Structure 1
């Protein structure tokens, strides 16, 4: 197999992978919206009552002597959900930053000729350069 054919095959695989990634991200967003829509106040109340009843039916003294394992599990799950939400927000912020960079690259740059603007532009890191108005 020639190098060009291999290169073409790799490009096809990369395109397929990117399409799958986009589909997976769309599925996750849809799942998150559906999951949040399902948690109505009435269902939250019922889940809280059922959880309270079940934890009350368990042997409270034995559970307390074991160091609150149920509380640790709930705490771990809430931390997991919070970190997932934070990761999602970070991904969205990264995508927004990328799109802003793309727009900035495509927009025509206006050089003011002002020495302060040139110095500020040269001193700022590449991702943080903003036009400075005199």
Structure 2
């Protein structure tokens, strides 16, 4: 056989293997998707009930000693307790976030009220610069507004 003929044969075989691998991968992906879509909650419950029935038939209750029942009850109670604890921690976390948000809003409201009270007090106590104070003079105890301060500096 010629070298070129052998090389072409190898290339065709490699291409065929690649096509088979691609087809197998797509079939595996499709099977995984269909398997996940097929397990709906009712099917899971039915499968559990059937599996429990088959296990009960394979190992009758008369062979099961009291110790195994205690183990089963202990395992079930610890599982239920862990589920309840997880739910309680989640509820507590949500409550903490809500409380923190309300405290933040309450603090902001108190700060705004305090600032408004201070601003109201300053507005009542401070004279107007254009009328009450002599030109070029700032009354003692209060600072001029930025625009008035700039005007006063520029006039000097």
User: TM exceeds 0.5?
Assistant: no
**Greater relative CO, 1 or 2 (CA 8 Å, sep 6+):** 1
**The structure with more radius of gyration:** 2
Report TM bin, short chain.
0.3 to 0.5
TM-score, structure 2 normalization: 0.38
TM-score, structure 1 normalization: 0.43
